[in-house]
Structure 1
Amino acid sequence: MRRIWACAAIFLALGYFAIADATAAFAAPEKRIALVIGNSAYQAGGLPTAANDAGLIAQTLQAAGFDVVGARDLDQDSLRHAFRDFLDKASASGPDTVAFVYLAGYGLQYEGDNYYVPVDAKIANATDVPVEAVRISDFTKSLAALQNRGAIVVLDAARASPFAQSSQPLAGGLALVEPDPNQLIAFNAAPGTIAPQEQGPYGAYAHALAEMMRVGGIPLADVFDRTRLRVGDLTKGTELPWNSSKFRAQFAFFDRGNDAPADQVSYDNNTRMRAKAIRDFDARDAYFAALDRDTLQGYEDFLAVYPADPMARRVRAIVAARREAITWRQTWIADTPEAYWSYLRRYPRGPHNWDARRRLGHFEAALEPPASFAMIEYDIPPPPEAEIIYVERPVLYLDDADFGFAPPPPAIFLPPPPSDFVILPPPPPPLDVYVLPTPEFVPVPEWVRAPRDVAPPENNVIFNNIHNTTINNVTTINQGATPATPGLTTGQKLTGAAVAAGAAAVALHVALPPFVQKKAALIQKQAPTPAPKAATPGQTPAAQPQAPQPAAHALPGANGQPLPLVGGKPAVPTPTQTKAQQAPIIPNAALKGAPQPATPQAGHALPSGQNLPQAGGKPPATAGAPAKPIVGQAPSNALAKPAIPGGNTGPAAKGGILPKAAASAAKQRAVAPPPPRQLSSAPAKPAPNRSFAAPPTNKPAAVAKPVPQVAHQSNPAPHIAAPAKAPPPKPQAQPKPQAQPRPQAQPKPAPPPKRPPPAPEKPDLKKKCGLPGLPACPK
């Protein structure tokens, strides 16, 4: 029977373990969410490192598999909505969620509660704190009520306060609190103490916390214990972080691979050292053993064994602040007049004496302890006389030289920092409103693994590249498709690289909370980034926002202006023409309402690197150049009305009167016919409307005579490109036109045009004016 029962017990045990393994295999993966806020731009005084610290912690949490939302420089309304949005997210995430909250900025304590201060807070008196700041306990209690797997709340906010500088000041630092079930609460400085001011780029606490979070395989409590030792090392003991935990779930930020080197401070070794009595350490190790335990009893044991050690004064100040914080915590929990009188009896000039008197005023009780009353029983004895001098200070700084400076901790308690995480470069300034800075990511060691059984967050580039320099990795991936596409111009390649870099930067950014994101979009909509200026008179329309075009594809002209038309051909300005003489050409067209030429169309644009057309409308010397605009024909989108046969769209075509200069130019054209037609000079495409060119004449000698530069516009008062009195440019001033052979401009054999018989100038003038395509007859 014994054997039967033994076999049955074995089968039951095996079945239990099999069921447990199956349950674990089908268990829902752990979800990780985080809220990170860094307030730096305070109206009462800025903080150099708070926003950078938040960006560093947010990036580390992203690498650990957290779905992070964060922001910087939030006002009160945005801060409250960010908390509300995160609570909604934690509620919807389910019971398998671990929440992490990091708040960097100014923190205040008021009547036993801690408050986080928004950037727009105006706190002149202590009573303004509940109105202008956000109470942390309201948020943590709501978070605990969701009954998720656990919550970690970090307040990097114990700083010298610029608020409530009145005759009834607030107590310095943060108030000692007790975490809610399954929560961990951490401060950058112990209750009742202040962290020293730092200039950056990162604060010692955020730097040390990010380093310890990246260590694989250590429990959550060890992360914060090692952070406390590292901060003491970085600041030589002038800053002492604190944490208290009721976190029950097994949790590690990263896993540790089998190929990891031996850890100098193993979990088992740390457990044995904490079980070892303080008196069994030498003086140096005893100080760090007490600092590692961070309990009132551990510090008192150090003072009992080594009262004359150089670190004894610092430890005594730590004990004084911790004893007073515990006393005030128990007083506030009791919340009776007798409790506040008991506190004032112990600490008549303590840091919370005005908090006690404010509460006594609420009870309408005497502000000073009466001769006799029922003292409450505290769990700790009253402070010795040697501690009173420390708690009577308005603010307790541990960076006082009287306390001495702590030596670096031995390796048995804390290994040296990794070489790549000692000096971190400052992050680039964020370009968007509310967005956290994005530091340069430092890859985690190869033997550090991404956490198992964690649901990967969406759009988390860092989590998928924890062993790479993430921004380079993303940029390389995005740029990979760019060179594979043939025929890309240099500008398109640069644009693709810029887009890839922008996509990488966006992927590395921490998402804003929903309300803050909407508010940021509204701010950017109300104050948009400066758009490209609209084309003003005299500017090329290519400067307007249009489809991307290479820079050399704009219409030729001075300063990017389109060339005026002279005799239906683009005219190159002479050196004698000034900007003042050329500028009026475009304004009149704009005043008339005619649309300005848009981006050059086919047949009008020049390829990159092609020379500009020569004087007289001749093609450039470059072989294989595309077809030029037809002589005498403006771009199709530059005319407000259909073109009139003959190419004349000026006042004469409408029966109007030409100005004096224009009439003189028309007379010269009648005397000296224009050069031969150049319609067939570009055989690539047949040009429409060939009737725009004037009919050839039998006077080839007049071809060399320069044509006055008259700008034919569609407005009733066309402007002339050059003054009528100015002498025409000499042909020698244009070397390239002389080198260009003239026969190229001759048309192909065509039916002989109708040529008028030779006649005197006056009769000939009468026969060549007033007809379609001819200038108006002079009066």
Structure 2
Amino acid sequence: MRMLQKFLGFVVLFLFVAVSATGALAQQQKRLAFVIGNAAYPSGALATPANDAGLIAQTLQAAGFDVVGARDVDQESLRGAYRDFLAKVSAAGPDAVVFVYLAGHGAQFEGENYFLPVDAKIANPADVPIQAVRISDLTRPLAALPTKVNIVVLDAARPNDFPQWDQPLAGGLALVDPDPNMLIAFNAAPGTAAPEGKGPYGAYAQSLAEMMRDGGLSLEDVFDRTRLRVNEVTQGAEVPWDASKIDAPFVFFDRAPDAPAPKVSEAESQADRTREIRDFDAHDAYVAALDRDTMRGYEDFLVAYPHDPMARRVRAIIAARREAITWRQTWMRDKPEAYWSYLERYPHGPHAWDARRRLEHFDAELEPPPSFSVIVYDVPPPPPEEIVYVDRPVLYFDDPDFDFEPPPPVAVIFLPPPPPDFVVLAPPPPPVGIFVLPSPAFVPFPRWINPPHDIVPPPDNIIFNNIHNTTVINNTTINENNQAGQGGGLTTGQKPTAGAVGLGAAALATKVALPPLLQKRAALQQGKQPGLVAPLGAPLSKTLSTDHALPGANGKTLPLVNGKTLPLVNGKTVPLANGKTLPLANGKTTVPLVNNGKPLPLVNGKPALADRHLRTLGKQGEVVTGQGAGAQTGNKGKFHRLPTVNGAPVTNGPTIQDKLGRNSPTILPDQNGGKPKRLTRKDLAAGATLAPNGQGGDSGKKFRKLTGNGGGTAGAEVNVQHNLKVNKPNVEVLSRPQFHAQPKLQLQPQERRLVEQPRQQPQQANKRPTCGHPGEPPCKQ
């Protein structure tokens, strides 16, 4: 009995351990991120978005996110890559954490926010929904998935360079309401635009990366501290914004138990957030209001310190927020009364023309009528002193017209100073390929900062496996097999190519993976050579050896044809023909280009012009020579293709001209052995003409040569597709034909291609030659 009890106890213990292990595996968190940095806009490149995206992606990699990202993508690529990313999120199962970061140009149109791909062409406001990607098209399908946390960051509220329209768009981004389990953040408050940084990183991206790297901070703390840091480093020119409906606890990094105590405890921080604004001095009151970022907090500051230098700045922040809330509620109602109500409050406000566009949609009056049902908003009408800040399409907090005082330093009670190694960041090296995000020099984490232990480790992530080890990451070594070394905790399956070794293996090993769609497009744009990882704009000759498949020419990269480069002759590339290079002689091609750049066919390595053992079957516009019916059927006779000048065949002899005015060579078979003969000036001077022979039923006209005195005919015939007339006798004789592309011929159904004929064997001594026929010598008796 006792043995049975022990056995049952072991069984229960085993089941408990098994269930606990299964539960632990089930609770492991998958982290997925999608990062885009668009900078190369045709209207003007932006300085920081690509670098910003690279910095955020690297920080997410360290936090255990499986990151895909790209820079400078067009609309089709962006939509396709995001669609693939959503499929990946769906496959990750429930409780996944998703981070989406978009840096570049943004815009709003009639209440919706848009992200501009690099191929967007905005000529008028109506182009925005067509040329750009609507943000709600990205957030709605994401919200429909059973994820635990969704974080969407739009680092896109920048001054745009749209044309100056009579009916302008509102600037910045529109206030939005996030879906459940989602946080949405802007780099600048709704209705405002942030100044474009000079680089290497934008204030928002660097501040966000700094706060994400701090261990133990909740999402709320991360974005509140980001707002304070950005406002501090930009001297008040940029005020970020975020809204959240995330209830689940989440941290990017854990803080080890032996970590140094924070300068401000969690209890003190919570106490400061609940203190009345009036209980702070003026400087700290401003920081406290900015930390809370609510209408009430800002209004409490104005009540407590109406004459403080920060009062005007706070009033501008309130003005932008009040207008954004008013427009959001107007757009949500979406009826004429709502738009009239907005126009009554803000007749020249940022969204005045959005309201009128919507009224036009309803076929309603564009201005408020004398009487209508005014809707009630959650915020009161703006006081007169606010109108000056929103009586324009966009508000800039660094607008010199307002001459705002710079904000005071952030108090330590709200925000500790930045880590010394994260104040000035070195610019990243050039990207290692098309679409690839820059890889910044990695700044190691303190040893007491670690990713949470309950996350699924991302595959092949050097950053994640070495967050404390800058030597391994920034100085990755390559062994003799050109594979990333495995020492020092380094784990990766990526294999750098020879080009990557020359660039620094870390640039390749730590790069952010491209979405699958962009991997394919990058391979195509790099000439179907996925292994090429030389930085854009860098001469390949400086990174690859001279015997590599891609040599350089005078420090410039060579064009690719079907994924292959052209050989060099005296430092110049060889012309192309059908994607293939042409044979060379003394550094020049031996095959002239005709027919839109296509070369003449080669026979035994020589152009067809040099070999007459070709035949053609009645190709329109060609002149062929031969004997009798053989010229038509190709069973006898010898043929050759002629070069062209300006679309017309030429020879060294005189020409004849058809009814269309096109020149053709006067080539006739001679009377000895059927070899072609060109008419000479002497022949023409003697009155030689071409006249129809009238014999034979083959297609096309038959012509024969008449003697100068009209006597005797030669039975040899020339098959020409058009009626011809003699072009007498002032014909320019070209000693060296020049070859130019000519329009593509319209071929008839019965036409055939040039085909190579075997060379005729020398005439046998015992074989009797033909004779006695027209064009042949008389038979000897």
**Class of the TM-score when normalised by the shorter of the 2 chains:** 0.5 to 0.7
Query: Which residue type is aligned with residue 512 of structure 1?
Result: L
Give the Cα separation in 2 of the matches to 1:383 and 1:530: 56
Match of 1:513 among 512, 515, 524: 515
Q: Give the drift of 1:26.
A: 4.6
- Tell me the equivalent position of 1:440: 441
Tell whether the 8 Å contact from 1:442 to 1:469 is kept in structure 2 after alignment: yes
User: Where does 1:558-569 land on structure 2 (aligned, <5 Å)?
Assistant: none
Distance 1:150 1:530 in 2: 35
Provide Cα deviations, 1:630-651, integer angstroms capped at 9, x if missing partner. Answer: xxxxxxxxxxxxxxxxxxxxxx
Q: Conserved in 2, the CA contact under 8 Å of 1:124 and 1:165?
A: no
Q: CA deviation at 1:270?
A: 1.9
SS in structure 2 at match of 1:343: helix
The structure carrying a bigger helix percent of its residues is 1
Cα separation, 1, equivalents of 2:320 and 2:500 = 54
* Corresponding residue SS for 2:33: strand
SS of residue matched to 2:70: strand
Aligned equivalents of 1:330, 1:481: Cα separation in 2: 59
CA displacement 1:519-574 (0-9 Å, x = unmatched): 1111112699799xxxxxxxxxx97569xxxxxxxxxxxxxxxxxxxxxxxxxxxx
SS at match of 1:403: coil
> For residue 415 of structure 1, what is the aligned residue in structure 2?
416
Structure 2 counterpart of 1:459: 460
In 1, the alpha carbon distance for the partners of 2:500 and 2:348 equals 62
Matched ranges for 1:302-321 at <5 A? 302-321=301-320
Paired residue for 1:424? 425
SS of the equivalent of 2:462 reads: coil
- Give the SS at the match of 1:192: coil
| Pairs within 5 Å for 1:110-149 | 110-149=109-148
Q: 1:498-647, aligned counterparts within 5 Å? A: 499=501, 503-525=505-527
- Aligned match of 2:72: 73
The offset of 1:23, in angstroms, is: 7.6
Q: Is the 8 A contact 2:33 2:100 kept in 1?
A: yes
CA distances 1:81-130 after superposition (whole Å, capped 9, x unpaired):
12211111111111121000000000001111100001111101111100
For 1:209-608, what aligned pairs fall within 5 Å after superposition? 209-401=208-400, 402-469=403-470, 472=473, 475-476=476-477, 478=479, 499=501, 503-525=505-527
Q: 1:663 maps to which residue?
A: none
Task: Specify the SS of the correspondent of 2:340.
Answer: helix
When residues 417 and 433 of structure 1 are mapped into structure 2, their CA distance, relative to the original with a 3 A threshold, is same
Q: CA separation in 1, counterparts of 2:366 and 2:17?
A: 67
Q: Which moved more, 1:499-508 or 1:64-73?
A: 499-508
- TM-superposed deviation, 1:495: 10
Distance change >3 Å, CA 376–CA 481, structure 1 → 2? closer
Q: Name 2:35's counterpart in structure 1.
A: 36
Which consecutive residues of structure 1, in runs of 5 or more, have no partner in the other structure? 1-16, 485-493, 532-541, 547-582, 585-591, 594-779
Determine the C-alpha separation between the residues in 2 that align with 1:543 and 1:274: 65
| Residue aligning to 1:91 | 90
Secondary structure (helix, strand or coil) at the match of 1:68 reads strand
- Cα separation, partners in 2 of 1:23 and 1:276, compared to 1, 3 Å: farther
Q: Structure 2 CA distance, aligned partners of 1:240 and 1:297?
A: 17
Compute the displacement of 1:393 (Å).
Answer: 2.5
1:205 aligns to 2:207 (yes or no):
no
Taking structure 2 as the reference length, the TM-score comes to: 0.63
Map of 1:695 onto structure 2: none
The match for 1:773 is none
Looking at structure 1, the residues matched to 548 and 31 of structure 2 have their Cα atoms a distance apart, in angstroms, of 44
Contact 1:73–1:119 under 8 Å retained in 2? yes
Q: Secondary structure at the match of 1:108?
A: strand
Kindly indicate whether the alpha-carbon contact (under 8 Å) linking 2:477 and 2:505 is maintained by their aligned counterparts in 1.
no
Distance in 2, matches of 1:530 and 1:252, equals 35
Secondary structure of 2:26's partner?
A: coil
Conservation of the 8 A alpha-carbon contact between 1:208 and 1:227: yes
What residue identity is the alignment partner of 2:111? G
Q: Match of 1:456, as an amino acid?
A: P
Q: Which amino acid aligns with 1:514?
A: P
1:269 CA displacement: 2.1
Letter in 2 for 1:504: A
Q: Does the Cα contact within 8 Å between 2:466 and 2:473 map onto a contact in 1?
A: no
Q: In the TM superposition, what whole-angstrom CA distance separates every residue of 1:241-265 from its partner, at most 9, and x where no partner exists?
A: 0000011211100000112111123
Contact between 2:432 and 2:533, CA under 8 Å: does it hold in 1?
no
CA RMSD in angstroms comes to 3.3
**Letter in structure 2 aligned against 1:505:** A
- Alpha-carbon distance change, 545 to 318 in structure 1, aligned in 2, over 3 angstroms: closer
Distance 2:76 2:99 in 1: 22
- Name the SS for the 1:325 alignment partner: helix
Give the 3 Å change call, closer, same or farther, for CA 24–315 of structure 1 in structure 2. farther
| Change beyond 3 A, Cα 1:495–1:338 | closer
| 1:530 to 1:121, Cα distance in 2 relative to 1, 3 A | closer
Distance 1:324 1:468 in 2: 48
| Alignment correspondent of 1:718 | none
Q: TM-score, normalised by structure 1?
A: 0.63
Whether the 8 Å contact between 2:104 and 2:115 is mirrored in structure 1 is yes
For the pair shown, the structure with the greater C-alpha radius of gyration is 1
State the AA in 2 paired with 1:307. Answer: P
User: How far 1:232 sits from its partner (Å)?
Assistant: 0.8
TM-fit CA distance, 1:197:
1.9
Q: Which residue of 1 aligns with 2:715?
A: none
Count of residues in correspondence between the two structures: 522
- Sequence identity of aligned pairs in percent? 66
For 2:59, the equivalent position in structure 1 comes to: 60
